[in-house]
Amino acid sequence: MRSRRSSLISNQQSAIGNRRAPFERLVAELFWLCGRIHAGVAWGLGWAGRGGAWLLRPFPWSCRFGALATALALLALWLGFYGQNALIRAAELEPKQVETLSKQGIVESFQGLCLVARHVTVLLAAAAVGAFLRHRLVLWLLKAAGAAFAALWLYLLFFVISAPNALFLADAKTFDNAMRHELWIAGGLSWLPAAGLVTVFLLALCQRPVAAFYGARDAQKERLGDRIAQSLKAPRDPRWRSSSYWSFFLHMAVLFLPLLLAGWGALRVYGVPKGSGSPVVQLVKVKRIEKKEKPKKKKFVLNMDSPIIFYRPDIDESEILKQLEQETQDIYVATSLQDGKLGKGGGKRGGWPSGMEGAKVGFLRLEYKGGDWDQDMGVNADYNLLLQFHKITGFKIADNTDHISILELRRFRKRRAPPFVFITGSKGISASKKEVDTLRWYCLEEGGLIFADNGGGTFNRAFRDLMRRCFPELDWVDIANDDIIYRQPFVFPNGAPPLWHHSGMRAVGLKHNERWIVFYHQGDVNDAWKTGHSGATENQAMQAYRLGINIINYAFNQYMHIHYGD
């Protein structure tokens, strides 16, 4: 009985061992792979170090330190004279946020740092020149200049950390935790290269060959730089050094990897041009086509018993001509624009007070599943509109049009999302619950506008179904001819030109809190933007461009008013 029990236990252990064997082999393979990666990285770093030393060998110490001191002097010069404005632009801080930092004394302290940077520039310039003089006092000059720059750069790190934190503590709703982390990551990564440069500069100065080159009295004394160089070249305990390196990098990964992952995939902010403009309205003369009196044509009445139709309709009575006459009854003749340019703020430069310096206006098409979201995208339609926008307004435009998925709308920085997105197609639209929630958030909370265009086919039904899911409480509304969207900067007395009017002659929209959140053109306005205009006349194409500019202007005005009060 006992032997049978022992046999069963042995069989069970053997089965467990067999089940564990693949897992243990997998673990062993992973450890082997990590070891190979470690060895490869170590070999690559060693090779890079030896290659760098080989490249520098022909140059004497004076040239090396002269070049390093010059590079550090240029960085200090930039910080001293241009650093404040450059960092504010790089961080894309708004005037109100700069004012918040000023109230907390951070701006004034940074101005003091800039003043110190100018003095450090002079010291580094003297060190760069003196590096070619082989005297022991030059060695001390180089050390003093390097130490001064190191202190300056460490103080800059304090501002890189404290400024985003101060903005977060002042107003966490406007400047949230994600934005603070994003600035920390971007600022830290920008700060590191110069920190590494000055570290190499100081460690190189703390070596015996350098002391001997400049005639130091204790040139044969071992220094910190010698010990570090020796440890890197031939460590006494390679395993200890390897373990230390792995420990250091793992700790850095634990501390900073979550921040880096949080920032990965973040889109660039959408830039609305900064400036001060006045609402402008196109002055137009509307010429109506007057119907000329035509001589009445006689009706041909034949024998009632004849099988021949006895009445020939006049072509003027046909529905086709009536429709054409309705569409072309107004000819718009532009005269001039009032003083000022597109935007708000009461100036003539154009733009919005809370916009971004040097911003380029972009055109973003919305990417979705289940249909042809990229209909006509490759035939210059979208970019032709941008070109006309630049020609008329003078604003800078993006180098190309772009497209984003629905979920990517949430990856823009708060209050810097695109004020409008364009959607078109001729087939179905498939959207998940998360995508529906994103579109609702974008329109109702972020203040965006969906500019939709019916490209034919089944798009009308698909788009209306999508909007019903996004905004079940809202009904479609005909956009009146006197709506502001048809008044600035161009006047459309009869509303949006119908063009091909696939699903209706009128543009309709969805309104929330007295603001259009969806503008739906039912006549394929995108087709008229294309090169060649798909058979539309030049006048019709120009009206289509002007309608697009009106919608962009409306979206910008509403978005900037919601977030900045512009």
Query: Do residue 71 and residue 189 come from a single domain?
Result: yes
Query: Do residue 20 and residue 85 come from a single domain?
Result: no
Least confident window among 223-232, 240-249, 292-301, 388-397:
292-301
Query: Do residue 45 and residue 127 come from a single domain?
Result: no
Query: Do residue 115 and residue 230 come from a single domain?
Result: yes
pTM greater than 0.95 (yes/no): no
pLDDT single digits (tens) 409-434: 988 888 889 999 999 999 999 999 99
In the chain, the amino acid numbered 293 is E
Q: Kindly indicate the confidence band of residue 145, based on its pLDDT and cuts at 50, 70 and 90.
A: very high
Phi, psi (rounded to 5 degrees) for 451: -100, 105
Percent over 90 (pLDDT), the chain: 40
Residue 175 has pLDDT above 60, yes or no: yes
* Helix H or strand E encompassing 405: strand 402-405
Query: Do residue 20 and residue 101 come from a single domain?
Result: no
Domain boundaries, position 189: 59-234
> Cβ of 257: how many Cβ atoms within 10 Å?
11
Quickly tell me which residue has 């061992």 as its tokens.
17
What pLDDT is attached to residue 156?
94
**Terminal Cα distance for the chain, rounded:** 91
Query: Do residue 17 and residue 68 come from a single domain?
Result: no
Phi, psi (rounded to 5 degrees) for 501: 35, 65
Query: Do residue 46 and residue 147 come from a single domain?
Result: no
Most confident of 132-141, 220-229, 513-522: 513-522
Residue 71 lies in a domain: yes
Query: Do residue 129 and residue 197 come from a single domain?
Result: yes
What pLDDT is attached to residue 82?
92
- The Cα–Cα gap between 468 and 476 comes to 10
What pLDDT is attached to residue 262?
47
Q: Is 141 exposed, middle or buried (0-12, 13-18, 19+ CB in 10 A)?
A: buried
Q: Kindly indicate the confidence band of residue 254, based on its pLDDT and cuts at 50, 70 and 90.
A: low
Query: Do residue 12 and residue 63 come from a single domain?
Result: no
Mean pLDDT calculated for residue range 451-461: 93
Residue 293 lies in a domain: no
Query: Do residue 118 and residue 144 come from a single domain?
Result: yes
Mean pLDDT across the chain, nearest whole number? 80
For the chain, what is the domain count? 3
Residue 29 lies in a domain: yes
CATH number of the domain residue 503 falls in: 3.40.50.12140
Q: Kindly indicate the confidence band of residue 338, based on its pLDDT and cuts at 50, 70 and 90.
A: very low
pLDDT single digits (tens) 460-509: 999 999 999 999 999 999 999 999 999 999 999 999 998 888 888 999 99
